A and B are shown apart, each in its own frame.
Chain A
Amino acid sequence: GENVEQHPSTLSVQEGDSAVIKCTYSDSASNYFPWYKQELGKGPQLIIDIRSNVGEKKDQRIAVTLNKTAKHFSLHITETQPEDSAVYFCAASGGTYKYIFGTGTRLKVLA
């Protein structure tokens, strides 16, 4: 079945450094790749997304890259701040009308 692998499961960085989270998907029909941020006790919120006809997208300190050939996509956060600390989920959808989520990355930004 469809699967999304996400790495690493935990990531600690110093404030101001960059953070990179990577995901791999299995369904070649996937064409929409959102990233969600979840703070403790709350529902996930979309922070950035990318579609299959685009290789890279940036929004201020956040960027996402997509390699359809390798079925990889990554989230890049630059100049990290303490408020970036949260759990981040990648997802893929489009082939079966469902969102398939990765297992999440707990990001800790150390002040």
Chain B
Amino acid sequence: DGGITQSPKYLFRKEGQNVTLSCEQNLNHDAMYWYRQDPGQGLRLIYYSQIVNDFQKGDIAEGYSVSREKKESFPLTVTSAQKNPTAFYLCASSISAFGQNEAFFGQGTRLTVV
């Protein structure tokens, strides 16, 4: 089945640790996105990539990093510089880089700082 897969579903991080969230798609989509979701604030864009080996900062990129070495993979690293990382993280992809087509979302990763 084609789709977008995020792992793990739940992740716990200690203070000062970096953690990496996985996002893989087998839809052959060019564009991929990372969003952060907090209660009452909707979806805020962290990073996006329009094509392999290229990515751009979104509205809340501080404390996060990404890579796009393969078309199907767009991992997100939450660094120790992110002071309030507890949130629900959503990865999405779309067929074109121009944001005019359906975005397919993964099931999300819930990150908690312990």
B42 in contact with A101 (CB, 8 Å) = yes
CA distance A98 to B49 in the complex (A): 10
B108 in contact with A43 (CB, 8 Å) = yes
Interface status of B16 (Cβ within 8 A of chain A) = no
Chain B interface extent, by class: 20 to 34
Our pick among B41, B48, B102, B108 for the contact of A42 (Cβ within 8 Å) is B108
Our pick among A32, A41, A46 for the contact of B100 (Cβ within 8 Å) is A32
What are the residues of chain B within 8 A of A97 when measuring CB–CB? Answer: 31, 48, 50, 97-99
Q: How many A-B residue pairs have CB under 8 A?
A: 66
Looking at the assembled complex, report how far the CB atom of A52 sits from the nearest CB atom of chain B, in whole angstroms: 10
Taking CB as reference atom, which chain A residue is nearest B98? A97
CA distance A46 to B102 in the complex (A): 7
Interface status of B45 (Cβ within 8 A of chain A) = yes
A41 in contact with B108 (CB, 8 Å) = yes
Known contacts A32-B99, A44-B90, A94-B100: does B42 contact A102 (CB below 8 Å)?
A: yes
